[in-house]
């Protein structure tokens, strides 16, 4: 496997395995804290990723291939998970996400190849985008939100590290985003 | 398993599995970018975590148990990996880290229990710290640096996402740490 589609799929396929490794059965002492005040707990992030599998990335891929720029993408419901997933255990959300991601990547493999990457679609706010940009954004969106999960996990133990907080940028940035780069 | 030592060990034991899941065999198109300009690539972060296993966390745990606050901790060589690991493949670094972490957690289980958590040591810069704070800092240090790996992975595809960058805080913060909270 080489090429942009294969390399992007490689990363996308790791996310559900990784989230189970990180969060499956993890004690609530780690998982009940949002990334920032009024932010998302790990379960909310997994729910948001589920929404992306249900309504965003593959739906938009299909729209690019079928309609090009003629029909703009539907908007992405960023908070759909808060009501939909209320009361669903985190481990069930991880399973649900894994099933959806696996099915979507199987579909992607049948629908898209390297020669499609410059095909264009219309984002309702961002304007014209390419399929290549959509697939890259899908993968980086995973990375972005997993980073948010890490911030929540770290935040759960903010009171426990004592003076070490001064060295832990992931905690300092929860209080002040400009505190420590990187 | 319940209690602080068990819950902390639970998270610490996941890190090597997680890093292999995320980085093992991942194409260099993802892994060759630092978290920020002049920052660390994923391989540098794994090297830094190896240093922690070799010289920091368990050495300090032992010092607290043997010497209390009488002998300050040795300083942590934050850049030891740059020379030590030059030329070592990333997959080999992942294996090395996994071996060291597993051995350290096995030692920890024989050395420490809940009743030891308030024992104190002397950090050369931070002053008095507890064993509980040391163990929490060990785990949050993992989370902090894995977050750094995510920033590097995302950064490798910064040019590919096009206008979506406006929505991807993990990319915006590489340019400006105050850009987007969380």
Q: Is the pLDDT of residue B182 over 70?
A: no
C-alpha neighbours within 13 Å on the C-beta side of residue A104: 27
pLDDT value of position B80: 85
Kindly report, residue by residue over A48-64, the tens digit of the pLDDT.
999 999 999 999 999 99
Minimum distance, in Å, between the CA of residue A68 and any CA atom of chain B: 17
3-class SS at A121? strand
What is each CA distance from A107 to A11, A111, A142, B29, in whole angstroms? 16, 6, 18, 24
Higher pLDDT, B88 or A178: B88
Minimum distance, in Å, between the CA of residue A103 and any CA atom of chain B: 20
The dihedral of CA A114, A118, A121, A125: what is its sign? positive
**Taking CB atoms and an 8 Å cutoff, what residues of chain A touch B168?**
137, 140-141, 144
Q: Is the pLDDT of residue B155 over 70?
A: yes
C-alpha B9/C-alpha B2 separation (Å) is 10
pLDDT value of position A82: 84
The dihedral of CA B3, B6, B10, B11: what is its sign? positive
pLDDT value of position B142: 98
pLDDT value of position A182: 55
The 3-state DSSP composition of chain A as helix, strand, coil percent (nearest 5) reads: 65, 5, 30
Model confidence at B1, pLDDT cuts 50, 70, 90, reads very low
**Taking CB atoms and an 8 Å cutoff, what residues of chain B touch A151?**
147, 182
Minimum distance, in Å, between the CA of residue B69 and any CA atom of chain A: 15
pLDDT over 70 for what percent of chain B? 98
Q: Which of A133, A168, A179 is facing B140, going by the closest CB pair?
A: A168
CA B60 to chain centre: 16
C-alpha A9/C-alpha A139 separation (Å) is 8
Residue in A142, A160, A168, A176 to test binding to B, most B beta-carbons within 10 Å: A160
Q: Which of B39, B126, B179 is facing A164, going by the closest CB pair?
A: B126
Query: Would you list the DSSP string of B40-62?
Result: --HHHHHHHHHHIIIIIHHHHHH
Q: Is the pLDDT of residue B91 over 80?
A: yes
Please answer whether residues A94 and A46 qualify as being in contact, where contact means their C-beta atoms are separated by less than 8 angstroms.
yes
Residues of chain A falling short of pLDDT 50: 1
Mean pLDDT over each residue of chain B, to the nearest integer: 95
B52, B47, B59, B50: which is closest to B107 by C-alpha?
B59
pLDDT value of position B81: 84
**Taking CB atoms and an 8 Å cutoff, what residues of chain B touch A36?**
181-182
Minimum distance, in Å, between the CA of residue A69 and any CA atom of chain B: 15
Q: DSSP secondary-structure letter at A2?
A: -
pLDDT value of position A79: 84
Kindly report, residue by residue over B44-63, the tens digit of the pLDDT.
999 999 999 999 999 999 99
pLDDT value of position B3: 94
Q: Which of A2, A147, A161 is facing B140, going by the closest CB pair?
A: A161
Q: Which of A30, A130, A133 is facing B11, going by the closest CB pair?
A: A30
pLDDT value of position B177: 86
Interface contact flag, B17 A14, Cβ < 8 Å: no
Query: Would you list the DSSP string of A45-92?
Result: HHHHHHHIIIIIHHHHHHHHHHHTTSSPPPPP-TTHHHHHTTT--HHH
C-alpha A49/C-alpha A26 separation (Å) is 19
Q: Could you report the predicted ipTM of this complex, rounded to two decimals? A: 0.95
Kindly report, residue by residue over B102-153, the tens digit of the pLDDT.
999 999 999 999 999 999 999 999 999 999 999 999 999 999 999 999 999 9
Q: Where are the beta strands (DSSP E) in chain B?
A: 120-123, 127-130
B104: Cβ contacts below 8 Å, ≥ 6 apart: B53, B57, B58
Work out how many CB contacts closer than 8 A connect A with B: 174
Please answer whether residues B160 and A136 qualify as being in contact, where contact means their C-beta atoms are separated by less than 8 angstroms.
yes
Minimum distance, in Å, between the CA of residue A60 and any CA atom of chain B: 14
């Amino acid at each position: 496997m080489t090429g942009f589609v294969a390399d992007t799929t490689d990363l996308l396929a790791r996310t559900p395995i990784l989230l189970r490794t990180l969060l499956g059965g993890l004690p609530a002492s780690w998982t009940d804290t949002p990334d920032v005040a009024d932010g998302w707990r790990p379960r909310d992030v997994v729910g948001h990723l589920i929404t992306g599998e249900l309504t965003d990335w593959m739906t938009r891929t299909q729209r690019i291939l079928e309609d090009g720029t003629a029909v703009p993408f539907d908007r992405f419901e960023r908070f759909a998970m808060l009501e939909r997933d209320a009361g669903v255990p985190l481990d069930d959300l991880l399973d649900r996400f894994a099933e959806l991601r696996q099915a979507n990547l199987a579909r992607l493999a049948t629908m898209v190849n390297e020669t499609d990457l410059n095909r264009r679609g219309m984002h309702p706010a961002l304007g014209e985008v390419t399929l290549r940009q959509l697939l890259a954004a899908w993968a980086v969106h995973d990375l972005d939100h997993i980073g948010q999960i890490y911030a929540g996990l770290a935040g759960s133990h903010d009171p426990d590290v004592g003076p070490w907080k001064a060295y832990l940028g992931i905690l300092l940035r929860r209080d002040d985003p400009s505190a420590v780069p990187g």
